């Protein structure tokens, strides 16, 4: 029997399977936090402008997805 996947829709319309267990949830959360930390670094580097958080978020996603060599320096995630 083929496994049925629960899915969600990404911003580009691609269907993404939802996490099946706690480990997948943890990995997803870590990935989200890495994107957030890198987006924050990009925003700070641009002088902290108002109104365009998507620009930094999408750039961070792209940077992490292609395995770019630009490290996240001094990124801290507030809890």
pLDDT for 79: 47
Is 40 a domain residue?
yes
Range of the domain at 76: 21-79
pLDDT tens figures, 18-52? 767 888 888 888 889 999 999 999 999 999 999 88
- pLDDT exceeds cutoff 70 at 74: no
Is residue 26 in some structural domain? yes
Report the number of distinct structural domains present in the chain: 1
Determine, yes or no, domain membership for 47: yes
* pLDDT confidence band for 72 (50 / 70 / 90): low
Q: Would you say 60 and 35 are in contact if contact means Cβ atoms under 8 Å apart?
A: yes
Q: In what helix (H) or strand (E) does residue 27 lie, and over which residues does it extend?
A: helix 22-45
19: phi > 0 → left, psi -120 to 50 → alpha, else beta; which? beta
Is 11 part of a structural domain of the chain? no
Q: Which residues pair with 15 in a beta bridge?
A: 9
Is 13 contained in some domain?
no
In a domain, 31, yes or no: yes
pTM attached to this predicted model: 0.58
């Amino acid at each position: 029997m083929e496994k049925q996947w629960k899915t969600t829709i990404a911003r580009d319309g691609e269907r993404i399977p939802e996490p099946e267990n706690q480990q997948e949830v943890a990995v997803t959360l870590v990935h989200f936090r890495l994107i957030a930390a890198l987006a924050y670094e990009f925003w700070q580097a641009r002088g902290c402008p108002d109104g365009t958080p998507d620009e930094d978020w999408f750039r961070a996603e792209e940077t992490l997805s292609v395995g770019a060599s630009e490290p996240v320096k001094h990124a801290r995630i507030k809890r």
